[in-house]
Chain A
Amino acid sequence: MSTVEFRSVTFSYPGAGADSPSALIGIDLKVLEGEVLLVVGDSGSGKSSLLRCVNGLAPHSTGGTFGGEVIVGGRSTRNHLPRDLADIVGFVHQDPEAQFVVDRVEHDVAFALENLGLDEASMRRRVEEVLDALGIAHLRDRSPATLSGGERQRCAIAGALALAPSVLVLDEPTSQLDPQGADDVLAALSRLNADLGTTVLLAEHRLERAAPIADRAIVMSRGEIIDGPDTTAAVIGRYPGAPSVTRLGRALGWPELPLTVRDARATATRLGVDLKAPLDQRPARGETLLSAKDLRVDIARRRVLHGVSMEIAAGDVIALLGRNGSGKTTLLRALSNLVSATSGEIVGSASIAYVPQDPGTLLFAPTVRDELAETLRLLGKPRDEGAIDCWIESLGLREVEHRHPRGLSGGERQRVAIAAVAIGGAQILLLDEPTRGMDAASRAALELAVRSHAERGGAVVLATHDVELAARCATRVTVLGDGEIVAEGDARQVLSGSLFAPQVLRVLPPFLTVEEVEMVIAE
């Protein structure tokens, strides 16, 4: 009985104008008991609003105009506040850092139990059960501030599950996490769904991992459901932002579209694929802009980089891969002179600019244009509308140029931050995890901007977990492990035969991307 039912729901945010995310229009949806329902769509498509309607956060916490009815567990959100639905709906959102009420894991898990007035013995039992269910019992005494993103997100899920809700709603739970953390979180979700029969509503941008665990999916755009609900394979098969393997299947005209590398391999073996090898059109490297020799960096008396050397040449797009803590960010910070190296030297006169992971640390001006102009002002240059237009165009920000940078979606913000740093005129751009939380549209705009900066004789270094990004725009790949370079060279060479291989390469070596396959087919 605890299913969720939307009956012609419409919703708009308070003071809805051009600035607010799009509302919901006439949503009818029945979520089946015990299923995993995947909600996909670009930023601003209404995914978040839809999820927030399930437990009444929209409209009761966000404010706004709400029509229609959402029934969850027999209660209508029209006359039940989120807090009155806490025992049937658990809610987890994307920022793993902002969901902790108490600075200690087990006390935070118990927060919901205290609110609903459980007695001490039941609280003890529930907390133990939930900690075990998520596999985080060893973290119980820790402060969330000391945990990794994946661990934090699992703790947040534990907090949402404490009251044993029958429905769990997650708004992009893995978008801020590294691949390992994302895997852990999704594996935990799939286990909860299988063992406890919890109904899961999940919104995601990155479908490589999320799609395989979902039973059904819907696609949203401009506040409406434009596809589904239908089986995940069918919906994702039609969705433009599908994972690479699915699009590969589409390009090759396979009858059944795969969602995982495993399925794709099986189909490829069964049907057989015969394509000639792709041409490498990557240009030769230009003159060297900067070279770092034997960099060693210590942070808090711990050696983070053990003698790293690298060369950055004009036209390079270098992808820096490696797990969390392997020294990627530190290398970027050392190159941009934000930390000083203990030993080693950086030779070259090229100007460098660094875009940090979280674009929110940078933005403060009232409009996107002003944000770009601010950098020029700080550098003591005159306000150059031409240059501003150029970068706004290059990162696809034309539609939002007069909006408040802080009111934009994560992907748009990231692009504003890149534009705001790049406009300073640096030849070498260092981007730290630029695709975190980005939707397909933002990713495409970013890739274009990176390529064109390199073509104009600049260079870009991307520290990233996103192998697909590396496959699509990197000319060279450097893999870091424990503060040392473990592999370096041409992108295709390094990516082949490594665990970092992108999906297409795993199915159809030596192809890196679907676009390459499509080009060969077109020939």
Chain B
Amino acid sequence: MSTAPTSEIKARSFGLSSARPRFVYLLITVLGIAAFLYPFWLPQDALPNSAHAGDAPLLAALVGVIVLAALALEIRRGTMNGATVAILGVLAATSGLLRLLDLPGGGSGIFFLIILAGAAFGPRFGMLLGLASMSVSALVTGGIGPWLPFQMLALGWMGAGAGFLGIVTQRMEKRLEIILLAAYGWIWGFLYGAILNLWFWPFVRDGGALSWKPGLSFSETLQRYWAFYVGTSLAWDAAGALANALIILIIGVAVMQTLRRFAHRLEPVVILR
């Protein structure tokens, strides 16, 4: 068994090195948001007859799956070294298990590690970690269903956003960085709940005043959704958001320190003399 020796080692970079992946990630985000938010912009006459309107949520889930497939295509040979996969693996396993942890007030432990790791290792890693954590959690706890693409994308965005935030905050003073990240976690406590409700909100149209009706204007839809959100999730999510922020405030500095100690393994700097 022999392998053709590679004559020279190419400059190795595991970030978004060329333009295409960046463009793909951007498109995935735009499309994902469009698929999530269709109740807000979809005109009534786009749905030819009301019997078919029931397929809209399934169609949105399908778009979610396709978008995820396009994203997974970008994770090709050579885009991840062993360290990225292994560190991604252990963090995804940990945060997938942390989700099982019921925190007081309906919070869940899946958020803080993704936010901190995203901030420590960058947007791409944060996105992948969000996706991987959710898949692991679904596989371990039996959570596979049409809601999964929504959950995965939402967490992926959260991780990617934390990565961008991390680029800004990494030069700051430690405490300040953690406070900003805690605030970010607090906001996402609400955002995640709001995004997740969207997968089933339009699913059932019982004619109630708080449910989706195709063809309403944007502001009417938003108002209905807001009322629905207030009624079903606000208190719950507020507790979760608070839990996120508190966890990050309490253990953020130590966890960030730990994570950063391993950062050099992800993109090893090799000097040949």
Contacts and interface: CB of A to CB of B under 8 A. Distances in A.
Interface stretch (A61-69, A275-283, A458-466): A61-69
Interface stretch (A78-86, A202-210, A219-227, A512-520): A78-86
B265 A63 contact: yes
Contacts of A425: none
B9 A79 contact: yes
A61 B265 contact: yes
Contact of B270 (A15, A63, A84, A164): A63
Interface in A156-193: 163-164
Interface string B257-272: 1000100110011111
B6 interface: yes
A116 B1 contact: yes
B207 interface: no
Interface string B165-190: 00000000000000000000000000
A63 B271 CA distance: 8
Contacts of A406: 261
Contacts of A67: 272-273
A213 B6 CA distance: 36
B5 interface: yes
B212 to A, nearest CB: 42
A276 B269 CA distance: 62
Contact of A64 (B5, B81, B271): B271
Contacts of A497: none
Report the interface size class on chain B.
Answer: 20 to 34
B17 interface: no
Contacts of A81: 6, 9
B36 to A, nearest CB: 34
Interface string A347-366: 00000000000000000101
A196 to B, nearest CB: 14
Report the interface size class on chain A.
Answer: 20 to 34
Contacts of B1: 87, 116, 118, 163-164
B257 A84 contact: no
B130 to A, nearest CB: 22
Contact of B82 (A14, A15, A61, A164): A61
A60 B6 contact: no
A66 B254 contact: no
Contacts of B261: 404, 406
B3 A84 contact: yes
Contacts of A10: 273
B27 to A, nearest CB: 30
B97 to A, nearest CB: 14
A8 to B, nearest CB: 11
Interface string B1-41: 11101111100000000000000000000000000000000
A61 B6 contact: no
A145 to B, nearest CB: 12
Contacts of B9: 60, 79-81
Task: Specify which of A15, A78, A164, A366 lies most central, judged by the most chain B CB atoms within 10 Å of its CB.
Answer: A78
Contacts of A140: none
B264 A63 contact: yes
A15 B264 CA distance: 10
A77 to B, nearest CB: 10
Contacts of A61: 81-83, 265, 268
Please provide the 3 A-B residue pairs with the shortest distance between their CB atoms, ordered closest to farther.
Answer: A63-B268, A67-B273, A65-B271
Interface of A: 10, 14-15, 59-67, 75, 78-81, 84, 86-87, 116, 118, 163-164, 364, 366, 404, 406
Given A14-B268, A79-B5, 11 more contacts: A14-B264, A59-B270, A59-B272, A60-B268, A62-B265, A63-B264, A64-B268, A64-B271, A81-B6, A87-B2, A366-B257
